[in-house]
Every structure is written in C-alpha cells, then in structure tokens.
Amino acid sequence: MEMKFHYTKDEWDRGKAEMRRILEGVAARKDVTTYSELASKMTTIHIEAYGRPMDYMLGEIAVEDDASGRGLMTALVKHKTGDMAPGVGFYTIAEQLGRDTSDRDICWITELKRVHNDWANAQETK
C-alpha cells in the first residue's frame, strides 16, 4: 500500500482536497490564515501545524496551483506570531517555481494579492 508519511494515498488525497477547499474559502474572503488555524480546521485527517506533512501538502498545492497558472494559494498561510509571514517552505517552493524571492516580503505580498484577486474575481463571475 502506497503511503505518504503515515497516511494512505487515499487519506492524503482527501486531506489535500480538504486543505484546498479551506484555502479557497480563505482566498475568496481575501483573508489569510495561520498554520495552526488551518490544521485545526482539518477533519478528514489529523495534521500537525508544524511538520513535514504540512510542509509537503502545502508544497503539492503550490506546485498544482503554479501548473494551473494560478497564484500560489499557500501564500495565505502564515505564522501566528513572530514575523507573521509564511514559513521558509513557501519561499523555497516559490523560488523553485520561478518566483523572485530576493525580497521575501515583496514575493509574499505579490502572491497574496494575486491569489486574492484571482479568487475574488472567480466569486464575482459565479
């Protein structure tokens, strides 16, 4: 049986679909969320706010968003305290996907605005 971390492929896929739905709601409201808020809203699987499964799941979503020509929805997820910005994984994936990360704040805000605008416009056309 194929596993990702301690999840079966089916559990992982259902968890990722749920995470995407949660993030789509955040994007449509032009809002942001924290890693802990995102983890607490997940019901299909239990995922820790900080850990490799969260990083990988968000990374997979970012890669899928980029392949679809959308902004990186994972820009919506940030730290609750401290810098109150996305974690290092966001910037690593952003750079791998060709984003300019020389100024992290500009990179983040650019992606955040793109996601907010994409999803706000998608809601208006419904």
What pLDDT does 123 receive? 61
What pLDDT does 14 receive? 98
Q: Which helix (H) or strand (E) holds 71?
A: none
33-34 and 77-78 as β-strands: parallel, antiparallel, unpaired?
parallel
Give the mean pLDDT of 91-107: 97
pLDDT in tens, 104-113: 999 999 999 9
What are the domain boundaries of the chain?
Answer: 6-124
The encoded tokens of residue 70 equal 């959308």
What does pTM read for this prediction?
A: 0.92
Q: How confident is the model at residue 2 (pLDDT cuts 50, 70, 90)?
A: confident
Q: How confident is the model at residue 77 (pLDDT cuts 50, 70, 90)?
A: very high
